[in-house]
A and B are shown apart, each in its own frame.
Chain A
Amino acid sequence: MKLYIVTDSTADIPKELASELDIHVVPLKVHIDDATYLDGVTLTTAQFYEKLEKADRLPRTSQPSPIDFVDMYEALAAKGEDAQIISIHLSSALSGTYQTANLAKDMVQDKIKVHVIDSRTASYALGSIVVAVARAARERNNLQQCLDLAQRLIANHAAFFVMDTLMYLQKGGRIGKASAVLGSLLNVKPILTFDETGEVAAVEKVRGKKKAVGRMLDLAKEFAGSAPVVAAVVHATSHEEAEALKARIAEELNVIQDMVVTELGPVIGTYGGPGLLAVTLYKV
């Protein structure tokens, strides 16, 4: 029995890592002005932010169609080793991707068994869970253990993020509870997270990015306590700030693995905008 791990492009897993761990990624679609791209395939993250700046209208994204999943699942089934698939995806509260994967699962049920999981999170918070499960699959190839691990990590991880601006989130219609800070004349930055249902929620309101990043670090520390954690930093066009944040996390938390620094892909980047900084972590 062979276990395959599938996710979608919103997981923001660095290409080399995905390749090394044999993680299969189904791309979402990005529509900028009149062109449509496949996230991570025909459009790189760097290209996306360049176009974002110049675009006349805010880019739109759409989930993969069922056939994209079916193609992926069938391709893996065709490899012929009595395979099963664990397919972990972007929060169902943020996208229909998870629903679509479920649909596809039914469509291929004669060919291969697929276990579809709603991560209730996004970006590398999702990605880090996928990476952990992929590693476990490699080492022990035990379906149940992998499923359990996935659920445990989903329940025990945290993600905190700060945006430079709420403009993109608001324009994209995904502002949710963060809307409480809109209209503030003082450029208030909320520190956001995903709640248990997978929706964006505001944790705190802060003024000033430096302060916001500091508070984000405090929140991460509160979450971790003294427990060993696997942590990562996500950013949008802010490489230096991300590296600085990585250094601070390594200093102040009990981090047991090399930290991944990855850039926020177009799907979430469209709502987060350039300048976003995030910390994701789970307790080991």
Chain B
Amino acid sequence: MRNRTLTGQVLRQMYKMGAERLTQHVKKVDALNVFPVPDGDTGTNMNLTFTSGVAELEKLAEQTAEKVASVFSRGLLMGARGNSGVILSQLFRGFAKGLADSVEADSHKLADAFQQGVEMAYKAVMKPVEGTILTVAREAAAAARKAARSGLIEDVVERLVEAAQKALDNTPNQLSVLKEVGVVDSGGQGLVYIYEGFLKAVKDGIVFAEPEEAKPAVAGGMSLFGETHDEMHHVINPADIKYGYCTEFMVHVRPDAVFTQDEFQERISAYGDSLLVVSDEDLVKVHIHAEEPGEVLSLAQQYGALDRIKIENMRLQHEEVLRRQKTRQALKSPSETPTVSAERSQVTEAVRGEPDFDIPQPENAKKPYAIIAVASGQGIADIFKSLGVDRIIEGGQTMNPSTEQFVSAIEEENAERVLILPNNKNIVMAAQQAAELVDVPTAVIPSKSVPQGMSSLLAFSADEPLEQNRDRMSEALALVKTGLVTYAVRDTTLNELIIKEGDFIGIFDGDVVTSGQDAYETAKALISRMVDEDDGLITVIYGADVKESAMNELEKQLRASFDSYEVEVHDGGQPLYSFIIAVE
């Protein structure tokens, strides 16, 4: 395509193909995670983020570049998960800004839009690190700038992809840990896939023909519109579906019927969205999401005989998809609560006079503070609640909570001020993004682990203003050391440790420091590395995969080995991490 302008239609196609290419390679991107841990995968997060943008586009009929870009960006902003997802959303937010006021874009405008994306993304990151998606985006945008001189859209995007790949290949030279493990940066790789999708869209041209160049799309398989059709059905939540029936059919236009595609399209579009109309001589193919498919068919019948009619109830379809997803993701049921010491149960008994349900507040009664924390595991949720957390957001297994989940939680809490504890370094940015999107004064305490979250909760005081709480709670993060024991998802060498898939690894404040084949021995070794003479308390929170009897034994051993420290043991019920350890 030797185009000199980028239309909104092609831009839409770019986003879709970018999403498709990334979706095809999610597992590859996930596998690039430097840490061989089963957690917070870049590919999954980026994919879910990007497809949120595509889903948002489904609701848009308009075709200006400006509108397509801004609607896409909005979808990304809310759907952003994980740090990589948030950075991606900022890249395309800046990109959309660059296309403001543009019905179409020329090569310079397009290149500039990529550059604006880079600037916005750098601004969003507190401490930008080179050798990551930021570097790849930056170098790509710079190359795009230079290529814009030719005036051709394809040149801009081609150079974009080339430079991105080159920058990606260079990331191991910028981040030593990448070199050590022998991978390129995962976020950067995800972006490269997206850009490759862009290039395909720009090269292949528009799939949906302009009225003058009508070409019927491939009629095969399940849908009249094949591949393109599947891409339109990325809606995640049945409640979001406004027009519930995916309706497709063909019309054999009668010779005496007065038919123009524009007029036909305009009439049909009143019944729903996601409209595709392709016409060729006397055959018209139609796809629409409508709430009253019968009306659509009746209207179309005015033009001729109907053929190949297919109507599906999308809400039911998606409910089924979600049901299957939920079953797959279901956590094991939490282990038995360990016997609490008599003293503690007496105290807690005295307090649990309160009812278990929430007393509904009258509309205008806002509570002074709401604290939202991210947690996985019933036991950990209980601990947080006992420390004053009002609402728990489920931490997720490989995908992290989205910006939208935080926004909903904040709004539902209906408080005057909100504090958020993400408890995972890959969730901090999504929480911060949400804080910026809501009206309620909200502060995010950048907690990177459950122990940090616990420590900061102790510093909370309901009598103090938000800024003071934010400061004191943030200071409290440094008062505790965090240890994690989990299993390796692949073979790797890190910090001179040779780790095999399935081995247990011990992580101390973000560094893998020990590994072994037994979870309990690994826990003990990890604790030994963590404690020093200034510490006084070791807290072990055990996960869903740990049996109570084994835990009792470990507790005994810990008390014996670390007799100059207090030892506390709690049932967290968390997935993936056999032990979460706090030393303070």
Does B bind A?
Answer: yes
In chain B, what residue has the closest Cβ to A177? B463
Residues of B within 8 A of A171 (CB): 350
A201-220 vs B: 1/0 string, CB under 8 Å? 00011111111001000000
Tell whether B387 is near chain A: CB-to-CB under 8 Å: yes
- Chain B 361-392 interface residues, beta-carbon cutoff 8 Å to A: 382-383, 386-388
Q: Which of A180, A187, A207, A208 makes the CB contact (< 8 A) with B344?
A: A187
User: Chain B contacts of A144 at CB under 8 A?
Assistant: none
- Shortest CB-to-CB span from B88 to chain A, Å, is 37
Mostly, the A contact residues are mixed
Do A208 and B536 contact each other (CB < 8 Å), given the known contacts A185-B383, A186-B383?
yes
Partner of B350, one of A170, A184, A187, A188: A170
Closest Cβ–Cβ distance, residue A59 to chain B (whole Å): 16
Within A154-186, which residues are at the interface with B (CB < 8 Å)? 165-167, 170-171, 180, 182-186
- Docked Cα-Cα span, A180 to B535, in Å, equals 25
User: Given A182-B351, A186-B568, A208-B566, does the pair A167, B386 have CB atoms closer than 8 Å?
Assistant: no
- Nearest residue in B to A190 (C-beta to C-beta)? B458
Q: Is B252 an interface residue (CB 8 A)?
A: no
Determine if B584 is an interface residue (Cβ-Cβ < 8 Å). Answer: yes
User: Which partner residue on chain B sits nearest A212 by CB separation?
Assistant: B536
Contact across chains for A183 and B386 when beta carbons are under 8 A apart: yes
Complex contacts, B343 vs chain A, CB 8 Å: 165, 167
Q: Does B86 reach chain A (CB closer than 8 Å)? A: no
Q: Does B570 contact A (CB under 8 A)?
A: yes
B537-A183 in contact (CB<8A): no
> What count of chain B residues pass the 8 Å CB interface test?
27
CA distance A27 to B477 in the complex (A): 47
- Using CB atoms, name the residue of chain B closest to A202: B461
B537 touches A207 (CB 8 A): yes
Query: Shortest beta-carbon distance, B472 to chain A, in Å?
Result: 10
Residues of B within 8 A of A210 (CB): 535-537, 565-566
List chain B residues, Cβ under 8 A from A207: 454-455, 458, 537, 539, 584
A186 and B570 contact, CB distance less than 8 A:
yes
* Interfacial chain B residues near A185, Cβ < 8 Å: 348, 382-383, 386-387, 570
Are B347 and A166 in touch, CB under 8 angstroms?
yes
Chain A, interface residues (CB within 8 Å), range: 20 to 34
A189 to chain B minimum Cβ distance, whole angstroms, is 10
User: Chain B nearest CB: distance from A34 CB in Å?
Assistant: 23
User: Which one of B459, B462, B565, B566 has the highest number of Cβ atoms from chain A below 10 Å of its Cβ?
Assistant: B566
State how many angstroms separate the Cβ of A134 from the closest Cβ of chain B.
Answer: 38
Q: Within residues 458 to 476 of chain B, which ones have a CB less than 8 A from any CB in chain A?
A: 458-459, 462
Contacts of B455 in A (CB 8 A): 207
Taken together as a complex, chains A and B put the C-alpha atoms of A182 and B584 apart, in Å, by: 21
B291 CB → nearest A CB, Å: 49
Q: How far is the CA of A224 from the CA of B570 in the complex (A)?
A: 39
A180 to B351, CA, bound (A): 11
B308 within 8 A of A: no
Q: Given the complex, which residues of B lie within 8 Å of A214, measured CB to CB?
A: 536
Contact A206–B382 (Cβ < 8 Å): no
Q: Is the CB of B458 within 8 A of A187?
A: no
Contacts of B566 in A (CB 8 A): 208-210
A161-B290 Cα distance, complex, nearest whole Å:
69
The answer to whether B352 has its CB under 8 Å from any CB of chain A is yes
Could you tell me if B346 and A183 are in contact, using CB atoms closer than 8 angstroms? Answer: no
B577 nearest CB across to chain A (Å): 18
Query: Which residue of the partner chain B has the closest CB to A273?
Result: B343
Report which of A186, A205, A208 forms a contact with B386, defined as CB distance below 8 A.
Answer: A186
| A211 touching B537 in the complex, CB below 8 Å, given contacts A186-B383, A186-B387 | yes
Chain B residue contacts of A206, Cβ below 8 A: 458
- Select one of A183, A187, A188, A204 contacting B351, CB under 8 A: A183
Question: Can you list 22 A-B pairs with a CB-CB distance of less than 8 A?
Answer: A165-B347, A167-B343, A167-B346, A167-B347, A171-B350, A182-B347, A182-B351, A183-B347, A183-B386, A184-B386, A184-B387, A185-B382, A185-B387, A185-B570, A186-B383, A186-B570, A204-B458, A207-B454, A207-B455, A210-B536, A211-B537, A214-B536
- Residues of A at the B interface (CB closer than 8 Å) are 165-167, 170-171, 180, 182-188, 204-211, 214
Known: A205-B459, A208-B537, A210-B535. 20 other contacts (CB 8 A): A165-B343, A166-B347, A167-B346, A167-B347, A182-B347, A182-B350, A183-B351, A184-B386, A184-B387, A185-B387, A185-B570, A187-B344, A206-B458, A207-B539, A207-B584, A208-B536, A210-B537, A210-B565, A210-B566, A214-B536
Question: Closest 7 interchain pairs by CB?
Answer: A210-B536, A208-B537, A183-B351, A205-B458, A185-B386, A208-B536, A184-B386
